Amino acid sequence: MAHILIVEARFYDHLNDLLVAGARAAIEAAGHTHETVSVPGALEIPAAIALAAETDRYDGFVAIGVVIRGETYHFEIVAGESARGIMALTMDGLAIGNGILTVENEAQALTRARPDEKDKGGEAAKAALALLDVRERFGG
């Protein structure tokens, strides 16, 4: 049984609630356990995962957040740098499912976040679990 940490950027509460619900349901359906920790924004997710990984308490991680395009360049920085940070950690051997939505508007986020629609939170959890299987296959 794997123990998964869900790291959520608690910026859009109502959207995160949907994403986290999907992630939790997928983890539980697969027979695993989970904890959740909140950080201020998507840029803090990779740091939180790195800090948690040092504890050896977690087998895998799910990154949850929503970045909605605004009127400034900030969207590109947050979307790109959070993805880059997560990818770097994944390349270091951590099993991370990336459920950070990068969308144009709230309507797109809702469609992707709802567990009964695109369920990107659930998909991210399944991705983390799949990476755990791959790591185990290769003796990690």
39 annotated to a ligand binding site: no
Query: What DSSP assignment string belongs to 56-72?
Result: T--SEEEEEEEEE--SS
71 annotated to a ligand binding site: yes
138 annotated to a ligand binding site: no
Buried b (16+ CB within 10 A) or exposed e, 20-57: bbbbbebbeeeebebebebbeebbbbbebbeebbeeee
CA distance linking residue 109 with residue 11, whole number of Å: 13
Collapse the DSSP code of 104 into the 3-class scheme (helix H, G, I; strand E, B; otherwise coil) and give the result. coil
10 annotated to a ligand binding site: no
98 annotated to a ligand binding site: yes
The catalytically annotated residue of 3, 32, 34, 74 is 74
Instruction: Please indicate whether residue 14 is annotated as part of the active site.
Output: no
90 annotated to a ligand binding site: no
Collapse the DSSP code of 96 into the 3-class scheme (helix H, G, I; strand E, B; otherwise coil) and give the result. strand
16 annotated to a ligand binding site: no
Could you give the residue numbers annotated as active site? 74
Binding-site positions for (2S)-2-hydroxy-3-oxobutyl phosphate: 71-72, 112
Binding-site positions for 5-amino-6-(D-ribitylamino)uracil: 11, 42-44, 66-68, 98
Binding-site positions: 11, 42-44, 66-68, 71-72, 98, 112
